[in-house]
Structure 1
Amino acid sequence: MGTHLFISLVYNTSLLLVLVAIYSGIKFKIPFESALPSRTRDILTGILIGLIGVALMASPWKFKPGIYFDARSVLLCVTGLFFGLIPTVLAVVIIGSFRIFVDGVGALSGLGVILTSAGLGLLWQRWRPGLKQQGKLLELYLFGLLVHLLMLACMFILPRPVAFDILRHISLPVMIIFPVGTVLLSILIIRQNVSRQMNEKLWESKKLLESVVENVPLMIFLKEAKDLRYVIFNHAGEELLGYDRKALLGKNDLDLFPPEQAAQFMAGDREVLNGETGVLDIPEEFIDTAGKGRRVLHTNKVCIRGNDGDTKYLLGISEDITERKKIESDMHESYEMERMSNAIRQNSLLPISLHEKLTINLASLLSIPWLTLEPKGSVFLVSGENMHLAVQQGLAPASLVLCAKIPFGKCLCGKAAESGEIFTSTDVGPEHETVYEGMQPHGHCCVPIIAAGTTLGVLNLYLKAGADISAKQLEFIRTVANIIALDIVHSRVEEQFAQSQKMEAIGQMAGGIAHDLNNILTAIIGYGNFLSAAIPVGDPKHADSDEIIKAGERAATLIHQLLTFSRKQVVQSSALNLDQIIPETIKMLRRMIPENIEFKTHLKSAPANVLANQGQLGQVIINLAVNARDAMPKGGILTFETAQTELDKNYASTHVGVLPGRYVMLAVSDTGNGMSPEVVAHLFEPFFTTKEQGKGTGLGLSTVYGIVKQSGGNIFVYSELGKGTTFKIYLPIVAEKAGETPVKKSSIMSYRGTETILLVEDEDAVRKFVSRLLSQNGYSVLEAATPREAIAFCEARHDITLMLTDLIMPQMDGYVLAKTVATLAPLMKVVFMSGYTDNVLTQQNLMKPGTMLLEKPLKEDTILRKVREVLNGEPQLLRSLSL
């Protein structure tokens, strides 16, 4: 019995170990087992352990009928120790139920063994939880001894003789085999748990790696080293290439890409696989995709080797950097645009002519490598309704002839000038409006050059045939066009300012000369009249004196024109309405203008008024009309137009001398011959004329210029050869109402008088002439050559009724003199004399209507009438003199 018992218990224990090993192997292969809830896993474990226990009990060692021995105690104590409460309870229920089913005299003791083994395992797990991880052999063996001592103790549930008989036969085999079996089963489970945990971690790592590979926003692929066929291809790669990965796997680059591109990719792969480089870094790799067109990739490739060191796979990771490269390209392009813009702006600061600036800027623009331009282009400048070629680079000789002058609306450039919009064409062929023999296909980009809403010209660039130009590049070219516009405006303003300075210098010189000449002419004309009156009519000397007077008066007229140009003529202004003055002036022009010239009027300025001298304004209209007549020898149309207009800051910034505000515009237009830009540049200069010698003095338009400027206005001329001329005059609108100052008429005999007059004049010839004239007409005259002498007369005499004083004198001007003597003779009246306006007149407001002012050269009747009018008028209070 002893040998058979040993063999049976060993067999049963071995069976237990085999069953547990099989169970563990099957369990570890279940891929979803670890994903089950813990309660479900415990239930399944308890059922399986219970079934293993049933299997053990199916092949027991039979001591006597109804009394069986097997390794269930080993199974249940280890279950309690390693698997916890639920699996142990389920295993106890299943195994216990089977033992009850088998029945026999040993059923109750069998249940005792089941309960004590499982219970001790649970208690040991609670007391020593670390044992199932640490796997200490000695403690496991002691645990097995204790479990099976309890097993032997459960035999006393049987009748005592039976119990002793059982213990005599099984005690030694059980205490030898079952504790060892407990240790072996525990070690098996511990190792299986370790393997399971490692497998679970490995499985989790695999899933994590697969998730990373699948979800990372980079194309990841794995190729077999042998034939470079794809074995792994992630979702990002599918999205990038536009292929389904099922169609990619098992294929190589030759199946997917053009031959040249595929050969390039595979050459890099072989370089890595052959060990020529560790990691192949390809910063920029271009690839043609199925859905996204041509993309730029940053690719890294590395060789994957097996445990034996042999080359197994090629791993590749590619990042789509197309958008980043585009951003970098855009940033670089923006930087280059800004750099070139600044460089072209720097050209504007160079002390060179406009033509040189346009040439340099055009050359700079055409030399930019990132613009899709041919090395040729041009700049057109507006002249009337046409554009003329200002500068060019690389144009064909035939093109220079055809494009020398382009009307608005013709060709792309003419359309750009007319509309103010950019016109482009990628392919200009034979259907183009301007063609010539040998013209090659090309594109055009025509950008209008605009300043303050006015088109100044067009920047014309040649594009490479079929090449398009981006919106950003168009914006850059528009920026260059704006810089050119500023150059043009600056150049024109400089020209206007230089011309203004030149005119001002000429005016200052003319004013200074006129002052002295007026004094000389006063003496020449005055003494000529004395001489003429003293010589009988019919005497040849009388005729000679008349010629002297006529020559002096002609000289006086010339001086009058010079003073008008220099804006130093003594004039008095009033509020005027141009719509009323022009029709009256046209009536007079009918006698001067031939019938083959038609008059047209468009008068729309009413009710606005301007402040000017009516006589001078009529002179402006007559001079412009006479010039228009001379420009239309074969007849034409002469148009007068008025309107109210607002000149804003933009307009003022591009026209020297113009202030923003409301103006009346007077336009005088003809359909005559027109003028060249060279003639227009000198048009308002004194003595400049294009007429034959003897047919013009060259002072007509300079007089017009002076009158307009003296009236606070501005005049501009627009002319083109063969297209006629338009003069535009802008006069500020004033609030005063239009009116006239009546002139009192009286006979020369009423100019005589007996009053005492103080005559103050530093020019001896003028003073003696005026003194003689006044004395001959009954007045008592006191002559003073200086203001100090005049003050001495006022201190010594109290019978002075009127002071006739020159306004411009050394030491003290006439106005200050009048204020000085106000305390000495407050009731004395005063009349001023002047040959031209000066700061004294304008600052002291002596040019307003009603001021007692005589204009030189002095005439006899004018002097006598003015003196008599003042003497007969209301008393003046010199203490409050503001005149």
Structure 2
Amino acid sequence: MAERLRILHLEDNPNDADLVKGLLETDGLACDLAVVENRADFAAALERGDFDLILSDFSLPSYDGRSALLLARRRCPDVPYIFFSGTIGEAAAIESLKAGATDYVLKQWPARLVPAIRRALSEARESEERKRAEEKLRQVQEQFTGIFNSSKDAIGYATLDGLFLEVNAAFEKLTGHSKEELLVKTHQALTPMEYRRTEADIVNTVVRTGEPAEYEKEYIRKDGTRVPIEVTVFAVNGSDGTPAGLATIVKDITQRKIAERRRTAQYAVTSVLAESPTLAEAVPNILRPICESLGWELGALWFVDEAANVLRFVELWRAPQTSVPTFEAHTRQMVFAPGEGMPGRVWTTAQPLWIPDVIADSNFPRAPFAKQEGLHAACGFPIVSGDKVIGVLEFFSREIREPDRDLLQMLHAIVTQIGQFGERTLLAAQLRQAQKMEAIGLLAGGIAHDFNNLLTVINGYSDLTLESLAPDDRNRGSIDQIKKAGKRAAALTSQLLAFSRKQILQLKVVELSQLVRNIEPMLRRLISEDIQLTTTFAADLGTVKVDSGQIDQVLMNLVVNARDAMPKGGRISIQTANIELEEGAVRKQISVPAGSYVTLAVSDTGTGMTPEVQARIFEPFFTTKQPGKGTGLGLPMVFGIVKQSGGHVLVSSEPGRGTTFTLYFPLARDSVERDERARTQVEALGGSETLLVVEDDDSVRTFTCQVLRGQGYRVLEAKDGHHALLLCEQHKDPIHLVVTDVVMPDMSGREVADRLTPCRPETKVLYLSGYTDDTIVHHGVLDPAIAFLHKPFTPDVLLRKVREVLATPHPKS
């Protein structure tokens, strides 16, 4: 059912009111007609009701239509107002329409009334709908304006030519320009030249197709810096439906680009590290991806030379368009001490350093060359492995650049990654080295026992045979060659044991300078006349606790190596010094723990070594000499002896610049021990005492007993520990000395001695062994109270040692 119309009718003639009602009903317009005759009733009706239409006579006895119109327009301006009158003239009708009347119908033409009512109602509905639409549009516009002004993305409207018509606050913030400045600029004015052609093609496509487009470029900010942005551009159509302008939404993608650069750099670094077995091989290849992804035009790498305590140049990369020949040449030649220049400061502090303009920096030695070739900003970063700085990366730019926190964070992440890789590869190398050492140690220990037993017999019988031959015997030369070969074999075994730290060290407090003085004549005989040997000794040199015989071997090996590195002559320098290594900056520069040390350095002016060779010089059997010229055990032996003595070895070398080996020995803080066992010439090596020889190797036992019996000793033989104890039980007379092998099946020599002591407390013990064993030594160091003879031994050495032990007062007496 249709909704009934509510009509207010101002009419003083009841017949006319009935006429109107009839006309409406006849035409099918259901309505409620409220008829009033005067102003008071009209005004009251307006206050009461919500009418759809007002009909009014123009002339009434107590009121007039024009006044009613004005009142209605004030009270309900949107309700249609139609005059239905027989007296309104044309002029009055026109004035009424101007005053707000919707229409007028003369009573003489009643048939026109209903169409006029329908028309007025239709127009009112259209007007209402239009107002509602306009209100909605106004609300939307207000919302859009709020979004436009508060959006974090920059939004702008421009002509098809790119001239800005409107921009929001975010656009001002992004570009650094005020709104007034932007409204006289174009998109092109903010766009770097290299993006303009591509952007023009994109905009043309958007205008032609009507499809929006997204792309990336940069804006030039008011301060001249660039900001990376992502642009979404739309074509805005005019009233005729054709493109009339451009709308752009611009996002600042700085953080995205930073993240992309970080990922790119880290991926490149990760790829290089994954393909590199060592840090030394990896880092030079890392410079390029770091510089390219992070916007540096030049990068350099420095590694710490621990022995010389300096930073040495390793590698440099520069962008193809960057030409800095003078700066590059000086960089390649420079060496930095701690705290010197940017690399030295980074090394000392273990912290990154940013210099906005190196030309203005007072501690930048290369500043004149940087100024000459237009380098300004620089950044240095430490490469830290564990708790020490092992190298420094430095980067340069032609621009003056203030510290960039994002860039520093990226570099920190990358350099941390490099340092962690270095730490992992170092630990892996140490593990491999430890496993290799353990394997060779087991091998050396395994062969040393049997091999030294064999050499004891070979060398011993060679001596006995030579003593028995006449001076002119033709066999003397052959036996002598056997003896020499045996000595070389014994030296080789000794080197294996030294490398694997299986040597038995007889430590005493000594002064290294005096050791060098003692062996210097022998060292001079090892080198040729075209090599100069110089020595420099520190005054008041501290003492160290070492095996002097082993240090002699170390010196001879280092001098021979230096000699072989100078085939055309040169200079070898031996130097001693006191040094104090403290925690902190110095501690981070070399791989030696903090403490007090005495150093022994051997330097040469020879060919030097590449980093690849340096990495392998302590590997057993590794040698760069021609076949037959070296065993590859000399330097491993040096390393093993120094390490077993509690010391450290540092190497500094460059191709063409010679080599320095620096040995660090912990300061002993004790006075020099005199060798109380130093013997004067003993005329009588024999005796009549009773000796018990315990040795599981038949040949060694036979040889030992033969030598001792030959000098008058009464000798009891035992092939193992159990046999030795049985002999002691059966033999009722004194046994003055037990000469026992240390390593034997079932029962060691130490166990034999321990079980004999309770029943024969006056019996002395002399131990024989070819390698270290915790039975009588502690970590390779012999207890000073223990009498010991190292295999292989000669008859003369055996007899002197036996006589020495027998002549020494018993510890318990």
Q: C-alpha distance in 2, partners of 1:828/1:653?
A: 54
Residue in structure 1 matched with residue 605 of structure 2 by the alignment:
672
Residue in structure 2 matched with residue 341 of structure 1 by the alignment:
266
Residue 855 of structure 1, CA deviation: 1.5
Residue in structure 2 matched with residue 831 of structure 1 by the alignment:
766
Residue in structure 2 matched with residue 763 of structure 1 by the alignment:
697
Q: 1:519 to 1:752 in 2, by over 3 A?
A: same
Q: Which runs of 5+ in 1 are unaligned?
A: 1-73, 83-129, 138-175, 306-310, 435-440, 879-883
Which of the numbers 714, 717, 729 marks the counterpart of 1:795? 729
Larger mean Cα displacement after TM superposition, 537-546 or 700-709: 537-546
Residue in structure 1 matched with residue 677 of structure 2 by the alignment:
743
Aligned length: 671
Indicate conservation of the 8 Å contact 2:382/2:415, yes or no.
Answer: yes
Indicate conservation of the 8 Å contact 1:668/1:726, yes or no.
Answer: yes
Q: 1:624 to 1:371 in 2, by over 3 A?
A: closer
Residue in structure 2 matched with residue 853 of structure 1 by the alignment:
788
- 1:793 maps to amino acid: L
Q: C-alpha distance in 2, partners of 1:614/1:585?
A: 10
Indicate conservation of the 8 Å contact 1:372/1:468, yes or no.
Answer: no
Residue in structure 1 matched with residue 48 of structure 2 by the alignment:
134
CA displacement, residues 503-557 of structure 1 (integer Å, 9 cap, x when unaligned) = 6655654554443343233334444554555566676677877776666556545
Which of the numbers 639, 646, 650 marks the counterpart of 1:705? 639
Q: 1:489 to 1:758 in 2, by over 3 A?
A: same
Residue in structure 2 matched with residue 408 of structure 1 by the alignment:
334
Residue 711 of structure 1, CA deviation: 1.4
- 1:852 maps to amino acid: A
Q: 1:494 to 1:537 in 2, by over 3 A?
A: same
1:637-676 maps to which residues of 2 (within 5 A)? 638-646=573-581, 660-662=593-595, 664=597, 666-676=599-609
Indicate conservation of the 8 Å contact 2:299/2:316, yes or no.
Answer: no
CA displacement, residues 55-77 of structure 1 (integer Å, 9 cap, x when unaligned) = xxxxxxxxxxxxxxxxxxx99x9
Q: 1:214 to 1:823 in 2, by over 3 A?
A: same
Indicate conservation of the 8 Å contact 1:675/1:719, yes or no.
Answer: yes
Indicate conservation of the 8 Å contact 1:574/1:611, yes or no.
Answer: yes
Residue 760 of structure 1, CA deviation: 0.6
CA displacement, residues 814-866 of structure 1 (integer Å, 9 cap, x when unaligned) = 12232344455455432211122234344598712121212222344543444
* SS across alignment from 1:599: strand
Indicate conservation of the 8 Å contact 1:220/1:317, yes or no.
Answer: no
- 2:597 maps to amino acid: V
Q: 1:577 to 1:844 in 2, by over 3 A?
A: closer
* SS across alignment from 1:837: coil
- 1:134 maps to amino acid: R
Indicate conservation of the 8 Å contact 2:501/2:780, yes or no.
Answer: no
Residue in structure 2 matched with residue 775 of structure 1 by the alignment:
709
Q: C-alpha distance in 2, partners of 1:422/1:252?
A: 37
Which of the numbers 741, 755, 769 marks the counterpart of 1:806? 741
Which of the numbers 571, 579, 592 marks the counterpart of 2:505? 571
1:113-262 maps to which residues of 2 (within 5 A)? 133-134=47-48, 192-194=74-76, 218=149
1:413-492 maps to which residues of 2 (within 5 A)? 450-452=383-385, 471=404, 472=406, 476=410, 480=414, 483=417
Q: C-alpha distance in 2, partners of 1:692/1:262?
A: 67
Residue 477 of structure 1, CA deviation: 6.3
- 1:811 maps to amino acid: D
TM-score normalised by length of structure 2: 0.60
- Tell me, yes or no, if structure 1 residue 615 matches structure 2 residue 583: no
- 1:840 maps to amino acid: T
Residue 762 of structure 1, CA deviation: 1.1
Q: 1:746 to 1:564 in 2, by over 3 A?
A: same
- 2:704 maps to amino acid: V
Indicate conservation of the 8 Å contact 1:757/1:803, yes or no.
Answer: yes
Residue in structure 2 matched with residue 68 of structure 1 by the alignment:
none
CA displacement, residues 15-66 of structure 1 (integer Å, 9 cap, x when unaligned) = xxxxxxxxxxxxxxxxxxxxxxxxxxxxxxxxxxxxxxxxxxxxxxxxxxxx
CA displacement, residues 710-735 of structure 1 (integer Å, 9 cap, x when unaligned) = 31333233222331210122334556
Q: C-alpha distance in 2, partners of 1:131/1:605?
A: 125
Q: Which runs of 5+ in 2 are unaligned?
A: 1-37, 52-59, 80-126, 347-352, 359-366
Q: 1:524 to 1:478 in 2, by over 3 A?
A: same
TM-score normalised by length of structure 1: 0.56
CA displacement, residues 655-680 of structure 1 (integer Å, 9 cap, x when unaligned) = 9xx77453626252435222333665
Residue 806 of structure 1, CA deviation: 0.4
Q: C-alpha distance in 2, partners of 1:313/1:407?
A: 68
Residue in structure 2 matched with residue 154 of structure 1 by the alignment:
none
Larger relative contact order, structure 1 or 2 (CA cutoff 8 Å, min sep 6): 2
The CA RMSD measured in Å over matched residues stands at: 6.8
Q: 1:338 to 1:640 in 2, by over 3 A?
A: same
Q: 1:738 to 1:298 in 2, by over 3 A?
A: same
Residue in structure 1 matched with residue 56 of structure 2 by the alignment:
none
- Tell me, yes or no, if structure 1 residue 330 matches structure 2 residue 255: yes
- Tell me, yes or no, if structure 1 residue 599 matches structure 2 residue 534: yes
CA displacement, residues 560-616 of structure 1 (integer Å, 9 cap, x when unaligned) = 445434433333113444466556655876787769736353638954x54311232
Residue in structure 2 matched with residue 55 of structure 1 by the alignment:
none
CA displacement, residues 706-765 of structure 1 (integer Å, 9 cap, x when unaligned) = 321331333233222331210122334556665344126466366654443321111222
Q: C-alpha distance in 2, partners of 1:693/1:264?
A: 71
- Tell me, yes or no, if structure 1 residue 714 matches structure 2 residue 648: yes
Indicate conservation of the 8 Å contact 2:214/2:230, yes or no.
Answer: no
Q: 1:504 to 1:459 in 2, by over 3 A?
A: farther
- 2:641 maps to amino acid: I
Larger mean Cα displacement after TM superposition, 783-792 or 616-625: 616-625
Percentage of identical aligned residues: 28
Residue in structure 2 matched with residue 730 of structure 1 by the alignment:
664
Q: 1:193 to 1:356 in 2, by over 3 A?
A: same
User: Comparing both structures, which one devotes a greater share of its residues to helix?
Assistant: 1
Residue 358 of structure 1, CA deviation: 7.0
CA displacement, residues 784-808 of structure 1 (integer Å, 9 cap, x when unaligned) = 1122211222333343343221001
Q: C-alpha distance in 1, partners of 2:199/2:790?
A: 101
Indicate conservation of the 8 Å contact 1:519/1:835, yes or no.
Answer: yes
- 1:731 maps to amino acid: F
Indicate conservation of the 8 Å contact 2:453/2:792, yes or no.
Answer: yes
Indicate conservation of the 8 Å contact 1:673/1:722, yes or no.
Answer: yes
Q: C-alpha distance in 2, partners of 1:334/1:626?
A: 56
1:627-638 maps to which residues of 2 (within 5 A)? 627-628=561-562, 631=565, 634-636=569-571, 638=573
Indicate conservation of the 8 Å contact 2:504/2:782, yes or no.
Answer: yes
Residue in structure 2 matched with residue 515 of structure 1 by the alignment:
449
Indicate conservation of the 8 Å contact 2:692/2:715, yes or no.
Answer: yes
1:390-405 maps to which residues of 2 (within 5 A)? none
Q: C-alpha distance in 1, partners of 2:495/2:158?
A: 100
* SS across alignment from 2:549: helix
* SS across alignment from 2:538: strand
Q: C-alpha distance in 2, partners of 1:136/1:187?
A: 16
Residue 317 of structure 1, CA deviation: 11
Q: C-alpha distance in 1, partners of 2:638/2:269?
A: 41
Q: Highest CA radius of gyration, 1 or 2?
A: 1
Q: C-alpha distance in 2, partners of 1:257/1:666?
A: 66
